[in-house]
Structure 1
């Protein structure tokens, strides 16, 4: 829930930023002074890049939630029995000890999107966010292929 609230706050802040910089960008472009025109264009282009990045993150979050709910219904989510610190983060040593089982499951079934998703959760528990996102994105692709094959 904290992630969803953070995303809503970020969207609201981005909208405010777009309005404020958009008006300033138009003013810069309308001056006709070359450097001001370049600044105005930059003020238009950079927020568009920010919006695209935010949309990718929102899509990632929505797909992740969808898969978690599906795995919950199928009783396929991994058991969350790794010890946690008072902050709520996983104990690194315990997460590292549980990791090989998830890596082995992916080696055994490299086309199983569920195994890749669980591996992503294991990477996240170990603190490796970059690999966690990569494994989860791979699970998205494999799931999409699996669903297309089922429809065909």
Structure 2
């Protein structure tokens, strides 16, 4: 629940920022000066990119959470706990022992979203956020196609 509150607070702050920057952009555009107009256009384009990125991340989170709830209702979430060092880094040997199982499951059923999602959770638990997001995006895509 605290994650949702944090996301909501950040989203509200970003929207507030976008509104304030948008106001400044309009004021720059209304000056009629070429340099000010260029700044105004940049101030419109950059917040649009920010809004797009925010929407993309929120939709990703909602779809990933939906798949997680489905797996939880099926009692199919991974049960392994990867031990971590005092610094919070995952134990490399434990990670290396867990991944072959999840990779083999994906290779056995490459068109099923469930193994992809579990692989993403394993990557996330190991601290590899980039691969975790790729695997979960693939799970979302496969779920949408089914």
Relative to the length of structure 1, the TM-score reads 0.88
Cα offset, 1:36, TM superposition: 0.3
CA RMSD of aligned residues (A): 1.7
Higher deviation after alignment, 37-46 or 79-88: 79-88
In the alignment, does 2:136 pair up with 1:140?
no
Tell me if structure 2 keeps the 8 A contact 1:83–1:90.
Answer: yes
In the alignment, does 2:139 pair up with 1:131?
no
Matched with 1:41 is 41
- Name the SS of the counterpart of 2:30 in structure 1: helix
Matched with 1:15 is 15
CA distance in 1, matches of 2:2, 2:100: 30
Tell me if structure 1 keeps the 8 A contact 2:82–2:126.
Answer: no
Cα offset, 1:86, TM superposition: 5.4
Higher deviation after alignment, 86-95 or 96-105: 86-95
Tell me the number of residue pairs that the alignment of Structure 1 and Structure 2 aligns: 146
Change in 2 beyond 3 A, CA 1:85/1:68? farther
Tell me if structure 1 keeps the 8 A contact 2:117–2:136.
Answer: yes
CA distance in 1, matches of 2:29, 2:22: 11
Write the deviation string for residues 75-127 of structure 1: whole angstroms up to 9, x where unpaired: 11111332245576643432232111000111111111100111111111222
Gaps of 5+ in 2: none
Write the deviation string for residues 29-75 of structure 1: whole angstroms up to 9, x where unpaired: 00000010010011111101101101111111111111111101111
Relative to the length of structure 2, the TM-score reads 0.91
Change in 2 beyond 3 A, CA 1:87/1:5? farther
Gaps of 5+ in 1: 147-152
Cα offset, 1:9, TM superposition: 1.6
